Structures are given as structure tokens and as C-alpha cells.
Structure 1
Amino acid sequence: MSSLKIVIVGGVAGGASAAAKARRVNESAEITMFERGPYVSFANCGLPYYVGNTIVDRNDLLLQTPEKFWKRFRITVKIRHEVLSIHRPERTVAVKNLESGETFDVTYDKLILAPGAGAVVPEIPGIHARNIFTVKTVPDSDAIKQFLANHRAKRALVVGGGFIGLETAEALMNLGMTVTLVELAPQILPPFDKDMAMLMAVHLQEQGVNIIVGDAVTVFHTKDGLAEEAELESGTRLPCDLAILSIGVRPELKLAKDAGLAIGESGGIVVNEYQQTIDPNIYAAGDAVEIVHLVTGKPARIPLAGPANKQGRVAGANAAGGHLKFPGAIGTAIVESLGMMAAKTGLSEREAQSQGFNFFVSVTHPLDHADYYPGAEALHMKLIVEKTTGRLLGAQIIGEQGVDKRIDVLATAISARMTVEGLEHLDLAYAPQFSSAKGPVIMAGFVAANILRGEVQTMTGEELQKKLAAKEPLQLLDVRTQAEFHETHIPQAWLIPVDELRDHLDDLDQTKETIVYCRVGLRGYQACRILLQHGFQKVYNLTGGILSFNGKK
């Protein structure tokens, strides 16, 4: 009886994970992996750090080699081999050896597609200049380092303000270059809400990064094959010695489409929970695949390393005879740039709105550990909460330390469908150098649960800005100290420090809509409770305080 023949298209996260898991499930299967590039498994998330010399040894990026795959797993890996087409009735794939040009057919019993996604490179004049690069593969980063070794580059342009863009900006700053970052969206970090992304932008600007948002490169002006200047849609011209494109990625779908496999509404290959396509003998995993978003329950494409590895593991197991399931993902991600971290899980406020959720927002700014222990830094935390149930729908955190551990707790809470009242009662580790007795996640739970129970109503900074712009009749109350008020305040605000509020209740109009704010929201909440218990009806606390309103850390 012949052994099961498993063919895998593509390596890196999805394909390599599938191959290793398939072998662990089935020792007798004949497993062959074809990878178009020169490396079968590499740490693409580490490439910006290699460019910036944080990772010095290039070999640290190479997780597996064909030789290692054969020695450990008896898996045949063919690099520089491209699968050109799939012939489903015959169960064969046409393969081209990119070194020799030879084309041949390979039969399969089970096929796993892990084609991944390629970097977006817009077709604009000058885009193919020799000093314009992407950071998607090891050869990409090799080319950047080789160029920098041969040219004196002082002015760098990063096109795209997403995760890779921010990491690349840091890498180039670390190399002593001046960096300008251009983002088409009206903010950097497009998956985040604007109020949170603004905190990151302020920090990067303080570190010397020039940030331009709401604009796009339309042409690179070149000389002798090198881009010397980028011209933006606004007409701005930016001199540059080097440009890095980090605009995004596009799923590699041609192979699947040509084979008649279904492509979903999110733009990914349709698979079931077993990573099976509409053809039961073909599985798919990784950045090109459509999955279920566990908050919305709807199809989504989440091109992140964590889901790709898990999908590959499931696809590999099932192709080899196993029975694993991949339920979906919630898009948990984190980035660090120049000492500041930004993390997100679940839905943003904008995403929750577009998906039709009835929700509220809660913003807190706790310290990452006890304030009496040296070195405490602020965490800027935003929760998106379903109004009717209190279920946590999403969270974002910006901060200098402790961000990763808090976003992971909140991601776990979302996956477990916890409510914010559940966050109140979490039993988390505490010692003053690590957290506070009422740690940041628990404090965020307290604040959000107070809103859920109706103890206070809140208003976001964006909602207040709209009211001020419309010149609505409202009573804006600043309850900070006189010194804080004179340093900065919101126009139209009336200063009554919270400790003096009870003595000035008669000076206020109980019938007017009253918005109260302090620095971060705590004193505002206390003031709201005083007003509500003295007959005021329409009282709102500005969630996150003036810190969230103006974006200053």
C-alpha cells in the first residue's frame, strides 16, 4: 500500500508549521514542500530589526533550512521552486524549477496551500528606483543593508504608518538617519482608533520622526536610477536617499483562483474549521486565508504570524489524517517603536460601529505599577464594551512598559467572552514593581463596569469636539486644580476643583447638559457622582480626561 502523498505550497509560517505537524501526525506520509523563495522558514517579523542592527547575525532569522527539515522530519523541501497550477481532477500540481527553468508535474493525495501575501507596490512613476525597497523577505533586508553599505544615506522616507512602517522608522533612526513617515490615512496605525494612534504619533514626533498623514506619494523623481525626491499628492516634495514601502500586503490568490477554489468576501481563500477548502483534498493556511473573527462571528482576513502558525498546524494535522480545528482569531497585535508600544485586540471603536454593535467606550490612564515604586509609567487603555451585556469587544493600549502583559490578559478575556464586571474580579499577580493592588486591567474593569451599571455616563473626546463645533448649549466643567487649568484647558470650560465643588453647586445650572473633565477621568467621575446625587440629571464624564482629548501624554 502506497504512503499518503502530501504536497505543501509555500513555507514560512503557515507552510512550515503544516509540514512539521503533518509529520508528527503521520510518520509514513511522503511530504514535499515547494517554496518559491530562497528560504523555507524565516522570521519575517524580525526583518526591520535586522535592518536596524538590533539583530546582528543574519542566521538568527533563518528558523529552518531544507537540510534541517530532512534531517529532523524527513520532509523534502524544494526552494526556488514555484507551483504554477493545480489540476484538481488528476490531483497534480505543475512545478517550475526557477534555477533551471524545468517544469514538471507532481501528484498529491492531499495538498496544502500556504502562498502567503506579497508586499503592495503601487505602480507610480519612479517606484522601481534602486533605492526603494520593501521589507517582506530576507532578500529584501539584504538589499537594504547592501545599499546602505555602498551609499551614504542620511534622509529616509517610510511610506506607510502601520506596524512594519513604525518598526522600520525606528530601525532607520537607529542608523542615524532622519526619517519622514507618510501615511495615506488620516492617522498612523490605521487599525487603531484615532485618539489612541494620536498618542503614538506624539511620541514619535518627540523622538524626531517627521509624520505626514492624509497624503500619498504620487511620483518618485529619479536620477541615474536612484530616487532623489518624493512628490506627494498635496504637492509637498520630500528629498530622500532611501525609501521603504510598508503600504501593506496583498494575498497571493492566483493559484487558488485558477484552480476554482472559493474566495470569500474578505478577499481570502474560503476554508472550514479544519482549514479545508471547497475541495476536500486541498487545505489552506496563512495570510491568504479567510477565517472567522471571534468577536463578530463573520469572515475576516487577519494576516498575522500567530493565526498563520496555528492554521498551518491544523491544516498539516488534518491533511495527514488528524482531526484538529481552528476556531478563528481576534487580531491581537503589538508594535514597539522608539520606546513606545501600541497593542490592539478585538474590535476598535470604529470597527464596532461599522459592525452594528451597541457599545460604549471607556478610557483609563493607570500607571503600569505602583506609583511609590520607582520607574512607573502611564498606560493609556481603551475598552470597547457591548452596552446590553457588558461583553468586552476590544481593547487598545499605548505605553512604554507593561503593555504586552495587559493586552494578553484582555485578549484572553475577549476569547472567553468575559464581561467588564468579570474584569473587576480578576485575581492578578501584584507586587509594587510589577503592578498595583488594583492593577491596570482591574482598574479598567472598575471604570467600564461603573458605566455599564449606570453609575456614570461618559462622553468621548470626539463626541465633545462635535458638540463644541456645533456650539451646543452645554456646561463644561474642569475639576482639576487652578495650576493645571492655567497650564492647559478646553475652551469654554469653567474651573471648579473637585474638592470645592460642593460649595459651588448653586453656581451651576442643573437643567443644562454638563460635561465634566479632569486629567485622566478619576476626579471627573467623583465630580459626576456628587452632581448626580444633588439633582443634576444630564451629567457626563469625559472618558480619559483631557489627556485623551488633546493627545498629550
Structure 2
Amino acid sequence: MQKHLIIIGGVAAGTKAAAKARRESPDMKITLYTDSQYISYSACGMPYYIEDLIKDEKRLIVRTPEYFKEREDIDIHIKHKVTRILPEEYRVEVENLETGEKFFDEYSKLLIATGSRAFVPDIEGVDLQNIFVLKDIDDAVGIKKHLKHCKKAVIIGGGYIGLELLEAFQAHNIDLTMIDRSPQILNTFDLDISSHIQKYLIEEKNIKIITNDSLKKLIGDDKGFVKQVETSGGKLINAEMVILALGVRPNIELAKDAGIEIGETGAIKVNERMQTNFSDIFAAGDCVETINTVTGKNVWIPLGSTANKMGRTAAINITGGYEEFKGVTGSMVVKIFDYTASKTGLSEKEAKDLGYDYVIAILSHRDKSGYMPDAKEITIKMIAEKSSGRILGAQVIGKGDADKRVNVVAAALTANMTVKDFMGIDLTYAPPYSPSIDPILVAAQMLYSKLKKEVGSITPEELQEYLKEKESAAIVDIRTPSEFKAWHIENSLNISLEDLEEKIGQANKETILCCEGGMESYLIALKLTEKGYQNIRFVDGGINFFKNI
């Protein structure tokens, strides 16, 4: 009897699995059901379609049902919803959404790739016109159409989707307000990192950002269109369009009703081969939890790149091969106008919450040789476990090449490397691409010095509290007099590098060095400590970080 694979869901994991299963098993019957009219599209490209960098939404579609039938002999049924899974009978119940007809289909293997859905809060006014989420192509088309008639918009949520939409909306000359219930936007990053992006958006892009406040209700006009947003803090904001960018939730109801085990994160539980608790039922993509390879704990991190890899793994195992999906490090990148924000592994706050004893390094550095005309600054925050020296994560932001540095760290996390191991990586060098020692290696060297206790440091937050309690410490600013005059820490001293050793030698108290981005003061503190000076520390991230807290 011919084997029959049924796939539920037709975006990243579903279509990737279908194509890979066909390559692995040319004779298998493959059927895919989806309740959408679109399959195999790039959801990550939708903000750029809304911005009008991509003119036609069809450019976002990678493969059509016709392609799959003609080239792969895979039957794709759009607008067909699987309403029940019957594991003991090896059948699914399907409803044709256009005709209402219901029927059963039998499978030998089943893949659940039902993805996720946008979270919509149950609040007053949420059903008004001109309120959108961004989850599929229809959403993107609707948003782009209404932008032509809109002057004021409010984006609820300061995560990846909300931030990517800022540039798209501003390209249409929309007056923008962003609201986030957290103390910060981009809350998967540490506050000392995300605050730089928030400042950039407010000061350079003229975007109004409200944090520590949440959506209370949406107020409409007499025609049923949204006209105002009311926050829990009592603010009223005029709006002709509202985007709910409040994250997503896994579509697990179909699986749960069938007795398929749900994991501790609220997504479907699978093993490394993407099998559920039913050996012939697999699951992949946004509906599935996985392992954080840094911590070994279960996580739910819905990303398109992960969904594709899960779909591939499932297909190999479904067709009789053997493949394991080991998990994720949580690598991500987001474009925010001409800023890049990228992260892998743990942030400092995540490491702290998980009970790690850790060390951090922060520095700002040019992404290319400083004399190159297109060299731009990036800021790196790297973290390692104190006892073992194992790298735990990194965050890199800036107008330069941030993501390629994070990709290197992601590879190091996968290899379970220590900081010492990492410093020996042979990275490429040419002036148009990096300084002779790449900034990510400089960050690692700084981190290693702190792990070996060759040099001491203090975070901007710690310094702020320290200044309230210990007036005896000397804060020494080693920047130029003009930089010092423009902004400096209260009661700090501006001392040139030539006079520094003499002044420190005369002082009988702790000295805390600060520079613009942390790098120069680190090197000076290291040099002075090696010469035998005691009680020398430097400020992590320098003035750039201190003035943003």
C-alpha cells in the first residue's frame, strides 16, 4: 500500500517538509491542507511590502500550489481546514471552507505545522475598523491599502514586528506613536542596550514612544472606525489606524483535542526527531517547543528560520531516515531604520533570572578599520559564565555590521566554547570589512581579562548607586576637554592620559576610569593594574551607557 503523508499547515515548516519528503521519498503520496489561500510565503518580508520596497505581494510567495503539483506531485488544498485528528484511526476530518463540505482522509504519517496566530486582547473596541494585526499576506495588503488614507497611527507593542513596521509607516509620512507595557521596547534585549535604540528612535526619527503603559480600550467614531487609543495610565492618543503587535500564540488546539501532549511552554511537545507522543504524528514550526541549547531548558521561540529546519528534520524522519533537531540558541536580528539589533543566547537579565554567576563585557567599536569612510559604530555586550568561562550570549546593536558578529557567537554557543577558545578563532580581515582584530574578539578579550580578574569594572547602574554611597571614589574622565565639557558625570575629573599616573599616585582612594565607549578606559585600567596600581576600575560601556540609564 502506498504510504500517505498528510501535512496540516502550508507556510514555512509545512511546505519545507513537503518538498523535502518528496526528495526523500519519490513514491510517497503527499497531501497538504491549509485554511489559508496562501502557502509558502515569506512572512518576514511583509514589512518591506508595506513600506513599498516590494511593490507586488505576489513577490512574497515562494511556491504556489500549482508549482507543488506540477513539479513535485504534491496535492495542496487551500481553504481546507482540518477540524479533527483521530490518532487511533489514522484519519483527519477536513472542512472545505468554500463549500462547507466535510470529509475524512487517511494517513500513514501526519505532520502538524499549524503555526501561530497574532495575539488580540479582549478589550473594548477591538472590533472597530482600521485595527490590524500582521500575520499573513491578507493582513499586509489591508494595512498597505489603508496607509494611503492615514496620517496618524499607533503601534501597540515594541517587539520585532512593531519595530520593523516603524520604518514602513514612516515611509508613508505617518505620525507614529508606539506603546509598550514593559519598561523598554525590544524587551528580549537588556535595558542598557535597548535604551540606545529607543533614544535613537525618539531623537533622530521623531517617533513618540510610551513605555510602562498598556492598552486599555479603543475608542471609535460614529461610523465604527477607531479614532483614539486609551491607555491604562489614562493617556488618550488620536489614531486613524492601530496595529496590534503584541506577539503570537501557538496554534495547539487541534493537537490538544486529539490527545497530543502539550509542553511546559504551552506549545506542542516533541522529541529531537520532531515526533509527538504518537509515533506516527510529527509536529514542526511555530506550534512546537524546543530546547534552548545554552540552558538545556524547554523554550518556545517562533522564528521562520527555525520552522524551516524543523520541517526538514521531520520530513527526513517521516520518510524513514534519521535526523535530530538539537534546539536553538535564540539567534535573531531586526532592522530598525539604519540600526541593526541582533542577539544570540542569553541576555544579562535572562542569565540573572536563571541563577547564573556571570561576567559581562560592553564596548563600542568601529565595525571596520577606522580610516574607512563607511566605518560605523557598533555596541557589543557579551556574557560568560564566571566559573567555567563558557560563553552564554551576546547582543550587538548599531549602524554598522552587527549581525555578522552575532552569527559568530551563535556558532560558538553551538560548539559550547569558552571565552578563551573563542579568542583564538581565525576571523577574516580586510579594512573594508573589519579592524585587524574584530570587535567581537576585542569584546572577548575584555571578558577574559575580567574572568581572570586582571582588571575590575563597574556597570553604569552600579556606578549610579555607588555614587550615592561612596563619595570618596575618584571618577576620572579620560576623554578630551571638549568631550568632557559637552557632557560628563557630576563631580568627575577630566585628566589627560599624560597626567593620569601622577594624579592617581597622589590619590589615596579608589579610581574609576571612564571614556566614551568603554574600550580606552579598559585598556588604561588594565595597564595601570599591571603596573601595580590598586583599586582601579573602569565603567562598562563608558559615558555612552551611563547617560542612557
TM-score (norm 1): 0.96
Q: Deviations over 1:263-300 (max 9, x none)?
A: 11122111100000111011000111110101001111
Q: CA deviation at 1:163?
A: 0.8
Q: Is the 8 A contact 2:16 2:311 kept in 1?
A: yes
Q: Is the 8 A contact 2:220 2:226 kept in 1?
A: yes
Q: CA deviation at 1:90?
A: 0.7
Question: Tell me, what secondary structure is at the counterpart of 1:312?
Answer: helix
Give matches, 1:287-306, under 5 Å: 287-306=286-305
Q: CA deviation at 1:241?
A: 1.1
- Cα distance in 1 for partners of 2:400, 2:501 equals 38
Residue 220 of structure 2 aligns to which amino acid in structure 1?
Answer: T
Q: Deviations over 1:299-328 (max 9, x none)?
A: 111101111100011111211212111010
> Identity rate of aligned residues, in percent?
39
The corresponding residue for 2:32 is 33
- Cα distance in 1 for partners of 2:55, 2:469 equals 55
The corresponding residue for 1:433 is 432
Q: Is the 8 A contact 1:480 1:523 kept in 2?
A: no
Question: Tell me, what secondary structure is at the counterpart of 1:316?
Answer: helix
- Cα distance in 2 for partners of 1:471, 1:214 equals 31
The corresponding residue for 1:543 is 540
Question: Tell me, what secondary structure is at the counterpart of 2:503?
Answer: helix
Residue 195 of structure 1 aligns to which amino acid in structure 2?
Answer: D
Q: CA deviation at 1:24?
A: 1.0
Q: CA deviation at 1:473?
A: 5.3
Q: Deviations over 1:400-440 (max 9, x none)?
A: 12122211111111111122223322222211111111111
The corresponding residue for 1:212 is 210
The corresponding residue for 1:184 is 181
- Cα distance in 2 for partners of 1:143, 1:469 equals 53
Give matches, 1:436-451, under 5 Å: 436-451=435-450
Q: 1:491 to 1:83 in 2, by over 3 A?
A: same
Q: 1:505 to 1:148 in 2, by over 3 A?
A: closer
Q: Deviations over 1:445-469 (max 9, x none)?
A: 2211221222112222222223335
The corresponding residue for 2:478 is 479
What RMSD in Å do the two structures reach over aligned CA positions? 1.6
The corresponding residue for 1:167 is 164
Q: Is the 8 A contact 1:304 1:331 kept in 2?
A: no
- Cα distance in 1 for partners of 2:322, 2:443 equals 39
The corresponding residue for 1:197 is 194
Residue 550 of structure 1 aligns to which amino acid in structure 2?
Answer: K
Q: Does residue 336 of structure 2 align to residue 337 of structure 1?
A: yes
Q: Is the 8 A contact 2:193 2:397 kept in 1?
A: yes
Q: Is the 8 A contact 1:392 1:417 kept in 2?
A: yes
- Cα distance in 2 for partners of 1:113, 1:54 equals 33
Q: Is the 8 A contact 1:422 1:445 kept in 2?
A: no
Q: Deviations over 1:360-387 (max 9, x none)?
A: 1101111010111112110111101111
Question: Tell me, what secondary structure is at the counterpart of 2:334?
Answer: strand
- Cα distance in 1 for partners of 2:124, 2:374 equals 49
Q: Is the 8 A contact 1:215 1:233 kept in 2?
A: yes
Q: CA deviation at 1:222?
A: 0.1
Q: Deviations over 1:113-151 (max 9, x none)?
A: 0111100111111112111101110010111123234xx
Q: CA deviation at 1:219?
A: 1.0
The corresponding residue for 2:64 is 65
The corresponding residue for 1:246 is 245
The corresponding residue for 1:50 is 49
Q: CA deviation at 1:480?
A: 2.2
Q: CA deviation at 1:349?
A: 0.5
TM-score (norm 2): 0.97
Unaligned runs of 5+ in 1: none
- Cα distance in 2 for partners of 1:475, 1:257 equals 62
Could you tell which deviates more after superposition, 478-487 or 103-112?
478-487
The corresponding residue for 2:411 is 412
Pairs aligned (count): 547
Q: CA deviation at 1:531?
A: 4.4
Q: Deviations over 1:196-240 (max 9, x none)?
A: 101111111111211111111111110111111101111111101
The corresponding residue for 2:397 is 398
- Cα distance in 2 for partners of 1:364, 1:402 equals 15
Give matches, 1:230-241, under 5 Å: 230-241=229-240
Runs of 4 or more consecutive aligned structure 1 residues displaced over 6 Å after TM superposition: none
- Cα distance in 2 for partners of 1:214, 1:225 equals 29
Give matches, 1:247-396, under 5 Å: 247-396=246-395
